[in-house]
Amino acid sequence: MDLQGAYNIAIDLGLSDAQAKLIASQAAYETANFTSNVFKLNNNPAGIMFINKPYQKNATAGSSFPSNESKTAKYAKFLTIKDGFKDMIRITYPSLIQSTDSTTYAAKLKAQKYYTGNQEIYSAGLTRYWNLTKDFVKKKNSIIGILLIISTITFILLKKK
């Protein structure tokens, strides 16, 4: 997984270009650029806790929290990375839809009580990855592209008859 792959997943899940860049940047920041054990072992892009509620779809109990944080808490483990992003989006959506840049998003997440750490540090981390997404563009929907090609060829063939 990389930042572009995270962006592509977010686009596939229906987020706007700016929202996809924000959620991809957040996932990269929260997983140490997709290298953390929580991410690798659990397909968990945001250190999401397993809470065993119906709205936490496709999640099971994953690896344990560090012992200095909790003796019993588990991270949510998702079948796929895309499932992990779905839950991350569910949790962050109120802040995500109100944000168009990383600084605003960090402030909205803080107000939502998504994180308890220093806002300036969190914002700087998001911004670092956000700046790497500047040149990302939405993928073209290949099905629509194929249908357009087929319809164009059909039109040309019918016109020749």
Domain that holds residue 151: 3-160
* 48-61: pLDDT as tens digits: 999 999 999 899 99
Residues whose CB is less than 8 angstroms from the CB of residue 105 and which lie 6 or more positions away in sequence, other chains included: 22, 26, 95, 96, 99, 126
Q: How confident is the model at residue 39 (pLDDT cuts 50, 70, 90)?
A: very high
Helix and strand element counts for the chain (H, E): 7, 2
d(CA 37, CA 30): 11
- Which residues on neighbouring strands pair with residue 61, listed in sequence order? 76
Match 């806002």 to its residue by tokens: 119
Q: How confident is the model at residue 9 (pLDDT cuts 50, 70, 90)?
A: very high
**Structural domains counted in the chain:** 1
Inter-residue contact 63 to 38 (CB < 8 Å): yes
Percent of the chain at pLDDT above 90? Answer: 83
Residues whose CB is less than 8 angstroms from the CB of residue 58 and which lie 6 or more positions away in sequence, other chains included: 78, 79, 80, 83, 86, 87
Looking at residue 157, its pLDDT comes to: 61
Which CATH number goes with the domain that contains 122?
1.10.530.10
Average pLDDT for 12-38: 97
Nearest CA among 136, 92, 93, 135 for reference residue 114: 92
Q: How confident is the model at residue 138 (pLDDT cuts 50, 70, 90)?
A: confident
pLDDT at 124 over 80: yes
Could you tell me the pTM of the whole model?
0.84
